[in-house]
Amino acid sequence: MSFLTGLLRPSLPPGEHFGLLAEFTSPAELYHACEGVRDAGYTRWDAHAPFPVHGLERAMGLRASRLPWVSLLLALGGGITGMGLQGWVSTLAYPLVISGKPFFSWPAFVPVTFELAVLGGALGAVFGMFAMNQLPTLHHPLFNSQAFERASDDGFFLSIESWDPQFNPDRTADLLRRLGAKEVELIASAPRQAPALGGATE
Amino acid sequence: MSAPHHSGGTGPRPASLHTDALHLPPGHSWHRLPTVGLTLAAVGLGGSLAFGLLGGTEARHQLWHSWLVGSLFVLGISLGALFFVLVQHATQAGWSIVVRRLAENVMGALPYLALLFVPLAVLGLGDLFHWSHPEAVQSDPLLQHKAAYLNVPFFLIRTFASFAIWSVLAVWFSRQSRLQDETGDHEITRRMRRRSAPALILFALTVTFFAFDWLMSLDPHWYSTIFGLYFFAGSVMSFFAVLALVALAAKRQGLLTLVLSDEHQHDVGKLLFAFVAFWAYMAFSQYLLIWYANLPEETSFFAKRMVGTWSIAGTVLALGHFIVPFFFLLPRTIKRNATALRLAALWLLAMHLLDLHWLVMPNLHPAGMAPGLLDALTLIGCCGVFLAAFGGALKRRALVPLRDPRLPESLTFENV
């Protein structure tokens, strides 16, 4: 069980601060900032935009995703399972003569093999994506930032995590400002205290 | 796509396009395509007619069967182009604008390819189709049963109607597209979209019955309702192979170098891959049902193709038309690599040709494969006609739809 709950817990940088969050005003600025952060040698960081920005993966220097391999492996696994199960049942476990055909009538097994390969590939793609994105993550330290709420509306953000070997709260913040950040915010690791219900705000 | 497509100079795109790169420049070697094509056509078709018609009955039978394979090979490519253009309009596709003119030029061959079927219809019917002989029908209750459909006048009417429909569609959609180059009228785009869906229905019906008529009725006792789709799947695949080859060749020849990107190549590769899989889906669906039911009137098709070297051809098709290209084309990097995609396209064209040979020739050579000079000559001749028509269309207009409203979208297209 602890293994499963461990899977559900996102891997986050230890320590008091999650990292720095920088806000940019346009996708083009975000794009160029990503190039700058990439060229500065940072490795543990991410970009956030309300819509897909084409070419951003190149600007960020991301490797090709390994997700297709997960999908392919599970597709092959599904196909082998489908053909293997039918072959085993029809030749060894419960051989029956069906319309005078051989026990191992592979053409008849192809539809199920195909369907299980598709099922395996699809499940691999969906759940592999979930696993690689560490989803579901119910809370994330970036939610501590009020400004970050606009990442799904009209805000363009770049976050650098504190466990990046290059990370230094001051120098990294300077770099982000030099790259055109409108606002740079230090993000705490601990969740923000929820405001008391019905309480006075002052 | 509803998301914004590009965001202010984010990609490594050229800042300006020179209009001279969008037309075939004067003196470019592709201006000679019509001459080369016509020469090949004269040599190939003339030679095959000389050998076939002067060589006795056997050579004449061979001539028309080979001629049929060659004609269907180039016809399939052009029909695939028509299908592609219609689907791009029906789906309002943005990415494909930069390759659509190349496809329009390929489908522009359709009226000329009708000429290839004139000798077949005038001289070849008797040698190709058992059912076209009244005395054969008289002694065969099954053929009598089918005579209301399978008779020469109705067959010729259907063939004529198919070519008329294809030619009208090809000419109309090409002409509208070219008209837009001049006027830039967005209404033309809407008009083509509105007409594309009914055109696709006509396309589906004509291609199905054309395949029934010219391929399936070679063996008039046999029938398979999926056969039209089988021919369609292989044909569209062969078109995407040609589109990939033409686009890559154009870039190599210094045409459209700023327009066609790896992204467009990738998408053509994806469609090629998709139709490799779709052909296999159709081929296996046909095989599975016939194998499972095991009814003599249906199994005769495969029984015929399990004799001698035909069974080797069938195995080569299963491996070379599906298994090998499927796994070869699967990785993203292969589809984005010009050399690898060119190799796959050439290979698949060869496989499609073998597929047509495998469909037609067991009727003539039941004992085993017997490829010969007439096969080569007719193929060269038919490809020559196709090349001449394609080259002629290429010269007459810009290489991309210059004022299509979605051209900017296509130019900046990227696979996410």
**For chain B, how many structural domains are there in total?**
1
- Tell me, what's the pLDDT at B71? 98
- Tell me, what's the pLDDT at B9? 40
Q: Domain segments of chain A: what residues?
A: 17-50+154-188, 67-132
Average pLDDT of the residues in A108-118: 96
Contact call for B294 and A53, based on CB within 8 A:
no
Element (H, E) at A160: strand A156-161
Helix axes B186-214, B227-252, angle to 10 degrees: 130
- Tell me, what's the pLDDT at A10? 67
Residue A30 tokens read as 């975000």
What band does A15 get if pLDDT is binned at 50, 70 and 90? confident
CA distances from B357 to A93, B303, B362 (A): 43, 16, 8
- Tell me, what's the pLDDT at A3? 60
* Residue pairs spanning A and B at CB distance below 8 A: 49
What band does A54 get if pLDDT is binned at 50, 70 and 90? confident
- Tell me, what's the pLDDT at A7? 59
Residues A77, A55: contact at Cβ < 8 Å?
no
- Determine, yes or no, domain membership for B362: yes
Average pLDDT of the residues in A85-110: 95
3-state per-residue secondary structure call for chain B: CCCCCCCCCCCCCCCCCCHHHHCCCCCCHHHHHHHHHHHHHHHHHHHHHHHHHHCCHHHHHHHHHHHHHHHHHHHHHHHHHHHHHHHHHHCCCCCCHHHHHHHHHHHCCHHHHHHHHHHHHHHHHHHHCHHHCHHHHHCCHHHHHHCCCCCHHHHHHHHHHHHHHHHHHHHHHHHHHHHHHHHCCHHHHHHHHHHHHHHHHHHHHHHHHHHHHHCHHHCCCCCCCCHHHHHHHHHHHHHHHHHHHHHHHHHHCCCCCCCCCHHHHHHHHHHHHHHHHHHHHHHHHHHHHHHHHCCHHHHHHHHHCCCCHHHHHHHHHHHHHHHHHHHHHCCHHHHCCHHHHHHHHHHHHHHHHHHHHHHHHHHCCCCCCCCCHHHHHHHHHHHHHHHHHHHHHHHHCCCCCCCCCCHHHHHCCCCC
Rounded distance between C-alpha atoms, residue B266 and residue B288, angstroms: 32
pLDDT at A198 over 70: no
Looking at beta carbons, which residues of chain B come within 8 Å of A99?
292, 294
Contact call for A111 and B416, based on CB within 8 A:
no
- Determine, yes or no, domain membership for B132: yes
- Tell me, what's the pLDDT at B258? 86
Phi, psi of B337 (to 5 degrees): -100, 120
Phi, psi of A46 (to 5 degrees): -155, 160
Helices and strands (DSSP H and E) totals, chain A: 6, 4
What band does A181 get if pLDDT is binned at 50, 70 and 90? very high
- Tell me, what's the pLDDT at B1? 37
- Tell me, what's the pLDDT at B261? 92
CA distances from B19 to B23, B24, B173, B334 (A): 7, 10, 23, 31
Domain span holding position B170: 27-411
Signed CA dihedral, A72, A77, A82, A84: sign only: positive
CA distance B330 to chain A (A): 10
Q: Collect the ranges in chain B with pLDDT lower than 70.
A: 1-21, 416
Has domain A17-50+154-188 been given CATH number 3.40.50?
A: no
Nearest chain A residue to B285 by CA distance is A111
CA distance A23 to chain B (A): 17
Contact call for B288 and A31, based on CB within 8 A:
no
CA distances from B275 to B14, B128, B363 (A): 32, 29, 27
Q: What residues contact residue B155 under an 8 Å CB cut-off, 6+ apart?
A: B125, B129, B132, B213, B217
Dump pLDDT digits (tens) for A122-163.
999 999 999 988 888 888 999 999 999 999 999 999 999 999
Q: In angstroms, what is the C-alpha Rg of chain A?
A: 25
Is B292 near chain A, with CB under 8 Å?
Answer: yes
- Tell me, what's the pLDDT at A1? 52
Residue B168 tokens read as 């009208």
Looking at beta carbons, which residues of chain A come within 8 Å of B284?
107, 110
Nearest chain A residue to B277 by CA distance is A114
To which residue do tokens 């198919």 refer? B162
- Tell me, what's the pLDDT at A197? 64
Contact call for A107 and B288, based on CB within 8 A:
yes
Phi, psi of B167 (to 5 degrees): -65, -45
